[in-house]
Amino acid sequence: MTATSKELLEHLRAKIDRIDRAMHRLVVTRSEIALQIGRTKNSTLPLRPGREAFILRKLVALTPAGTPVEPLVRIWRELMGISVQLQGALRLAVWAPAATYEVCALARSHFGQEVSLVVHQRFGDLLAMMESCPSTVGIVPTTGTVMKSPWWLQLCQVKNAPRIIARLPFVQPKNLLSEQDAFVIAPVVADPSGQDRTLMVVSLPADNDQAQQTYFARLQREHGQLVQRVDDSMLVDIPGYIETNEAKRIFACGSPSSLKVIGHFAVPMSSSPNHT
């Protein structure tokens, strides 16, 4: 290596050192502002999943083509996790009997590595923890173990039930070892992100093939997706941020015996977005 090359390397390393110091100052400042926000809001559960999704989409849109998106999002998710923890102690409760490790990993990746996490064997225990501790957020698999009374049906039977507020992972990794994903449940309503989907539980009249065919035809026209079905009850998601009354109007022709919106989530992103 020539003397000129060594000088250039030292110059470039010095620039990186200056950038690192500036980044550190900004992270500390960001944390101080998050703490001020927490004191101003005085909220038990300071979650804004829609705003977080909006921020991440803007960040990815600003990223030059060829720059890895996934590591960048992980950095910001850790920063967001720090902000939430500073605004109020968050706890995670996981119920995932068929994929415990995978769902716990999703929860850690989304909310940060330092957050407290408890694994439950029964969905009812998760709900009990959320009721006794208002700062608890639940994590459940989108699909998996098929039960006579799946978690989403149990959720419908709870008075003032918590709501679905997010779907994990928000950014789909390139080298995915597991196709497991999960929903986030919290005693708050998700704020719109601008690109959202609505989750609802629908029960159709038993032994009425015509009503079921009509419903599925409308679901297809509305670009809806069947997430899981147990007998005549279904967990479905449809595009947009829609509440129960509007959903009932859209699907009135299907004559569902019951329909209830149980939450909303920001549409997840690909880790390989198209940059212009």
97-147 pLDDT, tens digit per residue, is 877 888 999 999 899 888 889 999 899 999 999 999 988 999 999 875 556
Residue 88 pLDDT grade (very low, low, confident, very high; cuts 50, 70, 90): confident
pLDDT for the residue 276: 41
Top-confidence residue, 112 or 274: 112
Q: Which residues of 135-154 are buried (b: 16+ CB within 10 A; e: fewer)?
A: bbbbbbbbebeeeeebbbbb
With bands split at pLDDT 50, 70 and 90, how would you rate the model's confidence at 255?
A: low
**Exposure b/e, 19-46, CB count within 10 A at least 16 = b:** eeeeeeeeeeeeeeebeeebeeeeeebb
Question: What span, in angstroms and rounded, lies between the C-alpha atoms of 7 and 10?
Answer: 5
pLDDT surpasses 70 at 242: yes
* pLDDT value at residue 146: 55
The token duo for 54 is: 């909006």
Considering only 122-126, 155-159, 172-176, 229-233, which range has the smallest mean pLDDT? 172-176
- In the chain the first and final C-alpha atoms are separated, in Å, by 38
Q: Which position has the higher pLDDT, 243 or 266?
A: 266
Rounded to whole angstroms, the Cα distance separating 39 from 197 reads: 31
Domain boundaries, the chain: 17-191, 198-261
User: Between the CA of residue 143 and those of 75, 137, 180, 228, 234, what are the distances in Å?
Assistant: 28, 18, 8, 7, 12
Crossing angle for the helix pair 69-87 and 3-41, to the nearest 10 degrees: 40
- Our CA angle for 95, 98, 102, nearest 5°, is 75
What does the CA dihedral 101, 185, 248, 53 come to, rounded to 10 degrees? Answer: -90
Residue 177 to residues 66, 124, 172: CA-CA distances in angstroms?
22, 29, 11
Sheet containing 233-239: give its strands across.
Answer: 116-120, 91-95, 136-141, 182-186, 163-168, 258-266, 196-203, 233-239, 225-230
Q: Which CATH architecture has domain 198-261?
A: 2-Layer Sandwich (3.30)
Q: What are phi and psi of 202, to 5 degrees?
A: -120, 135
Phi, then psi, of 82 in degrees rounded to 5: -60, -45
Superfamily of domain 17-191: Periplasmic binding protein-like II (3.40.190.10)
Q: What is the model's pTM?
A: 0.86
Task: Please enumerate in sequence order all residues whose Cβ is within 8 A of that of 64, keeping only pairs 6 or more positions apart, or say none.
Answer: 275
- For residue 27, the model assigns a pLDDT of 93
CA distance 129 to 118: 10
User: Each residue of 9-61: pLDDT tens digit?
Assistant: 999 999 999 999 999 999 999 999 988 888 887 666 788 999 999 999 999 99
